[in-house]
Structure formats: C-alpha cells, structure tokens
Homo-oligomer: A and B are copies of this chain.
Amino acid sequence: MEYRKIKDEDNDGGGSSSGDLESLRGKPISVTNVASKSSELANWKRKSVVTLALTVLTSSQAILIVWSKRAGKYEYSVTTANFLVETLKCALSLAALARIWNHEGVTDDNRLSTTLDEVIVYPIPAVLYLVKNLLQYYIFAYVDAPGYQILKNLNIISTGVLYRIILKKKLSEIQWAAFILLCCGCTTAQLNSNSDRVLQTPLQGWIMAIVMALLSGFAGVYTEAIMKKRPSRNINVQNFWLYVFGMAFNAVAIVIQDFDAVMNKGFFHGYSFITVLMILNHALSGIAVSMVMKYADNIVKVYSTSVAMLLTAVVSVFLFGFHLSLAFFLGSIVVSVSVYLHSAGKLQR
C-alpha cells in the first residue's frame, strides 16, 4: 500500500525531524554531538513556534466564527470562501518560494517541477476531506449540531490509533492514557444540559461519526506521511502541490453546490469584513497545520487544537460575556493533566 511505502522511506532517510527536547536530554554531553545538539535545539524551537502559531490561529478562528454569528448571518457561499482559502495558501507558498529562489537559487529540493511519483499522493488528503464533508450533510439526519460537536471528539482517538498503525510511531502507555483523557476532557468541557441527547444517537449515526473520525484522522496522518516522506524537500513546494489539489476540488464543489448562486449573485456575494478575516485566518491556520505536520506530528496538532478550544472559551468570557460551566472547569483540568502526562510519559522511554 502507498502509505506503507511512504513510511518505510521515511524510516530510512527521515531522522532529522524526529529530534525533540526529550531525546536531547537523554544524550550524554560530548564534543562530537554538540553540532547535532544545536540542530536538535533549533528543531525543537521551530516545533514550538509552529505549535504556538497553530494554537493562537485556531483560537482566533473560533472567536471569529462566534463574532460572525453575532454580527448576523452573511449569505456568502461557503464553497467560494473555501476556494479562496486554498488559493491564498497557494499564493503564499509561491511567494515564499520566490523569496527562497532569489536567495538560494533553484535546487533539487526547492524546484516546483516534480515527478508523477512525487505528486500522485497529494490529491489523497483533499479527496478524504471531500468525502468527509459530504458525509457531514447526512449525519445531521441522526444527530443535532451540538451532538455532532461532541461526537467530533472521536477524531482525537482515531488520530491516535491511525498515527500508531500507519506511521508506526509508538506512544507509551502513559501517553495513551493521556490521549483518552484528552478526548474525555474536551468532551466534558463541552457538556451542557442537552448533551445527554447524544446518547440516544441511533447506530447509523454512531457508525457515520466513527467513519468520519477515521476519514479525518486518516487525512491528517496521510498528510504527515506526505510531508515527512521527503524531509529535505522544501515545505513550500509540498504545500503548493497540496493546495493546488485543494483548489481543484473546491472548484468542483463550487460548480456542484453553488453554481446558480455564483452565476446569479456573483462570486463574492454576501462577503463582509469578517468573511475576509476568516479567509485570511483559515489560510494561515492551514499553513500552520502543514508546518506542524512537517516539523512536529499529528499528536502535537491534536493537543494544540484542543488547548485552543479551551483558550477560545476563556477569551469568549471577556469578549462576549460567556459563562463558564463547572463541566468546563473539570474538562480543562483533565485536559491540562493530559498535556502534562503526555510529556511525562515521553521522559520514561
């Protein structure tokens, strides 16, 4: 299978991206590894910066969504906004590449031209997300929207399981415990008086929720496999190809779903200042996700977005006068303990 092949190549040549603070601590200090030590420190710093960026961008994303809801409903086409997000990401990747070509010249690692063998895997995550988004329309026959938000926490578990199976990266037992806690903590933080309804979800709803979680987890893990398959390949080239296929699939979605609206009311109908901010935010978040996939991993991504969810709620208290529930406090404590256990679990190995 394709992803198995990717993994094997990654194992052979891709050691540089796995260095982190913990492997650094484990090594005895000697003259010979001073160079590798400073490169590992640089890797760890880069990993921290992209993780922080993802957390801040994801938090502000959710806040923009709340803001846009408060400001009233804007009748723009979601598919056109998604297309613009992909286009903006593509443009930003090209701009970054142009700068690199100016400074370093065109090399094997940063040239845009590619082989069929390299490019053939890039459409796969886009296809997986497309199938998942299509299923999303059908699941609402079985669950309401708040129930779906709760079931989406299954993504955490599916990502962990697929990360283990497909990328063959091991988590310690403590880290697995931390992962289960992360899922429980996030769900607890979202509990409200109507949450129990989700227990009445029929079997079809559960199956669809699990399939969607697996598709979403698989897309994430597959993207990581693609980004890490060629560790020395410039990330902007990888992003460019990933986003070009994203643009293509979203163009198809516009034609299928919103052709009439775009033809009659125009491509940008219903756009507002907040819509533009949201597109900008989604584009930057998307690039941050790619960087986390390249320089960190899916586990870091899941923790980062979970912590962002909690930060959003706290910020919303000040911005929108939200009230925090006891369940939110308890869930936040469980998530915090999970973050601690994830790093404590690493140290044991």
Contacts and interface: CB of A to CB of B under 8 A. Distances in A.
Contact of A173 (B196, B330, B344): B344
A334 B198 contact: no
Interface stretch (A37-45, A130-138, A179-187): A179-187
A195 interface: yes
Interface size class of A (residues with CB under 8 A): 20 to 34
B177 A326 contact: no
A174 B341 contact: yes
B180 A326 contact: no
Given A188-B188, A193-B193, A348-B348, A177 B327 contact: no
A333 interface: yes
A199 interface: yes
Given A187-B330, A198-B326, A326-B199, A341 B193 contact: no
Contacts of A150: 326
Nearest to A195: B326
B333 A180 contact: yes
B196 A325 contact: yes
A40 to B, nearest CB: 25
Interface in A139-190: 150, 173-174, 177, 180-181, 184-185, 187-188
Interface in A293-349: 325-327, 329-331, 333-334, 337, 340-341, 344, 348
B348 A196 contact: no
A185 B333 CA distance: 10
B348 A191 contact: no
A248 B327 CA distance: 43
A326 B174 contact: no
A188 B327 contact: yes
A193 B195 CA distance: 10
B337 A181 contact: yes
A332 to B, nearest CB: 9
A3 B181 CA distance: 37
Nearest to A337: B177
A303 to B, nearest CB: 16
A346 to B, nearest CB: 12
A329 B196 CA distance: 10
A344 B177 contact: yes
Contacts of A180: 333, 337
Contacts of A344: 173-174, 177
Contacts of A334: 181, 184-185, 188, 334
Interface in A190-208: 191, 193, 195-196, 198-199
A6 to B, nearest CB: 33
11 contacts: A180-B333, A181-B337, A185-B334, A187-B330, A191-B191, A191-B327, A191-B330, A195-B326, A196-B326, A341-B341, A348-B348
The 7 closest A-B pairs by CB, nearest first: A193-B193, A184-B330, A177-B337, A188-B330, A184-B333, A195-B326, A196-B325
